[in-house]
Chain A
Amino acid sequence: MDEAKKGSDIAEEIKKELSSVAQNRYLTFYIEDEKYGINIHNVKEIIAYMRTTKIPKTPEYMKGVMNLRGNIIPVVDTRLKFNLKEIEPQMHTAIVIIQLGGVLVGFVVDMVDEVLSVKDEQLSDTPKFGSKIDTDYIKNMVRSEDEVIMVLNLDSLMSQQELEIYDTISQD
């Protein structure tokens, strides 16, 4: 019993340490030539694109559900979410599994790039124009060498509101 407790304590510590490191690391990926980043802390895993099952009566950007080792998780087509045109899955198309408030959600992206460590001074606020997508989805910008990476605001991406709406409907 004590040992188990010790073990979990250590695990907790490691987790904390990792998360403090992860705070400043971002997974970057491409959607239609633009580079985006997600805090790696929220990324559960990345898998190759697989066929999803469409769920009736859901918004267009809800690509459907997929089978992740026995668990059924919803998948969002990030292109459609950003009001870009839908494309056929390509060789590099991937699904990034993200943990959003206790729920796993998959996001389809064109290509996964790298994991980037970012210093605080590289971060800057979002300009109100210039991107092809709704700036509400962008938390801030990262300047890295010659590139600009848009860090996605996960809360607005699959907003709490949306999750809650589903919740209240299901309670009725």
Chain B
Amino acid sequence: MDKEKLKEIFIEEASEIIEKLDIEIINLEEKPDDKDLLNELFRGVHTLKGSANSFGFKRLGEFVHGFEDVLDYYRGGDDVPQREHIDIFLDAVDVIKEVFEYEINDTSGVPDRYQDCIDAFRNLINAKKNSSESDEVSATLDDLDSKDISSEFALDDDETTKEQGSSNVTSLQKELLRSLSETEILLKIVLTLDDDLYLRGQDHTIFLRLLKSEGVILSSFWDLSKVPPLNELDPQKNYIPSVEIYLKTTKDIEEIGEIFEYLEDYEYKIEEISINFSDEEENKEEEKVKEKSAKEEVKNIESQPQAKPRKTQKSENSQEIKTPSASQQRSFVKIDTLKLDELFDSVGELVIAQNFLAENEKINNIKDENVLKTIETLSKITRLIQNRVMSLRMVPIRDTFEKMKRVVRDSSRKVKKEVKLIISGEDTEIDKTMVDALSDPLIHMIRNAIDHGLEATPEDREAKGKNREGEVGLRAYHKGGNIVIEISDDGRGINRDKVYKKALERGLISEDEELSDSQVFGLIMQAGFSTADKISDISGRGVGLDVVRSSIEALRGKVEIESKLDKGSKFCILLPLTLAIIDGMLVKSSGETFIIPTLSIVESFRPHEDIVHTAQGQGEFVNLRDELLPIVRLNRILELDNNNPKVCESTLVCAENENGRFAILVDELVGRQQVVIKTLGKTLSHLKEVSGGAVLGNGEIALILNVEGLYN
């Protein structure tokens, strides 16, 4: 594994961690006394520090180290972070993001707030230490068993000695390693000793004796930091929380592990010390962290599998950088989406082959129950596989939603409004590629809701009889074959007349146009439209919402707006479940089959002769409930042939695109179907009328029409 590759892995994992920091800090603000959350946060920061240092990213390493100290303080004590501390944390994450960029791009110097933040860490720790030193000391002695040794250790002593301590150990390990012959390995065994050890009739010297029979004990370290003065010593209590033993042996790690078989999992830990020293140090620290979490949740069965494998795990080189941020209950495999696509293709073929079998007349004529049954089973399994493969691409929208908490926090402060974010349906699953692309539009819409949606001041809200605190809702759910994401607020609502007037001014509409409410609201998503009286830092430049609309449309979705004056507004983003599959209407024109995406179809109908009009030189129109729709003949626009079927004998599909509604004339409707979208490749990508192809059940290809390109 070369260095570049390692660096890539580091960057990927670090970005993941940094991404999560924001979310965790915001969650911590909601539940400041949640130690699990704090631990999770600490673990992330800790891993980040470790890997940053091992890559020589000193600036990042140093900064994160400072941050870690602060978190460690809260982790060890009963003190909970206040709002101003959370501010510091969040600032720190911002700086981490910047420093990270600096490091990756090899830019010299540090970000502006780098030093400020480090100072803030130091001040915070100093202030806290001074104020609470006395209680801390007594607390550590009183509830020794409930607290973690390593964190205690860090609290009592200065952080630097701890660092030095561990580097001494590594040089010691180095030395010990040199004394090994080729067949021998060096094992590090850490025993965690409970304080009621003697009362339970245990004797840790037994283990030492047993170990001696298996190999040579090179060195052992006894943590004596907790031993009280003689006059306070309780002879029935054990004051040595841990013993660290270095064993030279020719046996393997599993055999040695058997000695400790009847101990609890948390009470002992064995690992092999190998050549890679710098990482060893990291792993060791890592383990302290892990150990702590394992201890705390020792009754929590779900955390056990994570603690167990670590004991026998050989410490390999640094490709082993852990991601403790990953969920504790489940394990995950990262797969290139490209591979998923390939799998998906193959499954698509499987479905086609299965359809072929199921529809084959000869097979259907076989009057053998077993054959028919097998075919039936095959089709069931195929469908099952197809669904499972589909679901591989799906991830819950939770992470994206969680990210919005920070957005709400930041922007509500900026405009000095009190805002509560209500999230629901965060378990709704959505295509991974879509999740990534959704983030920016969502951020924008949330900001928009806070800045424009809500009343200007909390006082304004009170005057209207509402809570001071504005509510912004973020909700996801399934509807039909779509996913809907709702961004709602209980603010002012959209002023229809104001929007209408503005649109007239800007020349976006003409005076004689009759527009429905939703059409008027839709205008605010047009380019060059902004109704905010004042341009603020957050939004209001009028370039935002149209960008939102185009990025949603790029995902083949659309935005619908509902609003009631003084009650609030609701923006609904309708998205297909996945980018790989489209819900389409199969139509026929000149003998060829085409697919029109259902999302852009308004309705379809067979027109009566009376409502079809021909305007000289302007083409044909159909009058649908007093709305004149231009007719687009599919066979003509695609240049399939020159036939001119009578409009009243054909079917019209009313579709909607950027330029408005129009009617597509086709020979007949075949039916509605979910199809897998395939690109036509770059040789055919110039066709604006066609956006792709789909393989139908019979193995043939039907072209998917691009509604945007059919009429303008």
Contacts and interface: CB of A to CB of B under 8 A. Distances in A.
A117 interface: no
Interface stretch (A18-26, A66-74, A80-88, A133-141): A66-74
A169 B693 contact: no
Contacts of A170: 682, 685-686
A56 interface: yes
B375 interface: no
Nearest to A104: B681
Nearest to B679: A72
A122 interface: no
A163 B592 contact: no
Interface in B303-359: 345-346, 348-349
B349 A69 contact: yes
A72 B1 contact: no
A54 interface: yes
Interface stretch (B249-257, B438-446, B699-707): B699-707
B639 interface: yes
A55 interface: yes
Contacts of B679: 72
Interface in A45-69: 50-58, 64-67, 69
Contact of B701 (A53, A69, A103, A105): A53
B700 A167 contact: no
A73 B701 CA distance: 10
Q: Which of under 10, 10 to 19, 20 to 34, or 35 or more describes the interface residues of B?
A: 20 to 34
Contacts of A69: 345-346, 349
A53 B693 contact: yes
A166 interface: yes
Interface SS of A by simple majority = mixed
A91 interface: no
B226 interface: no
B227 interface: no
Given A51-B700, A57-B689, A70 B695 contact: yes
B592 A72 contact: no
Interface string B670-692: 00000000111111111101100
B504 interface: no
B687 A57 contact: yes
Contact of A74 (B345, B684, B689): B684
A56 B638 contact: yes
Contacts, number: 82
Nearest to A2: B1
A56 B703 CA distance: 10
A72 B693 contact: yes
B701 A70 contact: no
Interface string B26-55: 000000000000000000000000000000
A69 B346 CA distance: 7
A50 B701 CA distance: 11
Given A55-B687, A55-B690, A103 B682 contact: yes
A64 B627 CA distance: 38
A112 B680 CA distance: 27
A74 B1 contact: no
A145 B684 CA distance: 41
- Residue in A52, A55, A71 with the greatest tally of chain B CB atoms within 10 Å: A55
Q: Which of under 10, 10 to 19, 20 to 34, or 35 or more describes the interface residues of A?
A: 20 to 34
Contacts of A73: 681
B678 A70 contact: yes
- Residue in A53, A73, A74 with the greatest tally of chain B CB atoms within 10 Å: A53
Contacts of A56: 638-640, 687, 689-690, 703
B680 A167 contact: no
Contact of A163 (B680, B683, B700, B702): B683
Given A53-B693, A57-B689, A72 B345 contact: no
A123 B689 CA distance: 46
A108 to B, nearest CB: 16
B700 A53 contact: yes
A70 B683 contact: no
B703 A55 contact: yes
A24 to B, nearest CB: 29
B682 A163 contact: yes
B638 A57 contact: yes
Contact of B346 (A54, A70, A72, A104): A70
Interface string A99-138: 0000111000000000000000000000000000000000
- Residue in B345, B346, B638, B682 with the greatest tally of chain A CB atoms within 10 Å: B682
B345 A70 contact: yes
Contacts of B685: 166-167, 170
B681 A103 contact: yes
A74 B700 contact: no
Contacts of A67: 695, 699-701
A65 B693 contact: yes
A144 B401 CA distance: 70
B297 to A, nearest CB: 34
Contacts of B345: 69-71
Nearest to B350: A70
B683 A103 contact: yes
- Residue in B592, B683, B702 with the greatest tally of chain A CB atoms within 10 Å: B683
Contact of A65 (B639, B682, B684, B689): B684
Contacts of B1: 1
Contact of A167 (B678, B682, B687, B701): B682
A104 B680 CA distance: 11
Nearest to B319: A1
Contact of B680 (A70, A72, A105): A72
B298 to A, nearest CB: 36
A141 B639 CA distance: 40
A98 B682 CA distance: 16
Given A53-B592, A57-B638, A66 B348 contact: no
Interface string A147-170: 000000000000000110011011
A74 B592 contact: no
Contacts of A55: 680, 684, 687, 690, 703
15 contacts: A53-B702, A55-B684, A57-B689, A67-B701, A70-B678, A71-B678, A72-B681, A72-B701, A73-B681, A74-B683, A162-B683, A163-B683, A166-B683, A166-B685, A170-B682
Interface of A: 1, 50-58, 64-67, 69-74, 103-105, 162-163, 166-167, 169-170
Given A69-B345, A70-B346, A105-B683, 10 more contacts: A1-B1, A51-B700, A53-B693, A53-B703, A58-B687, A72-B678, A72-B693, A72-B695, A166-B682, A170-B685
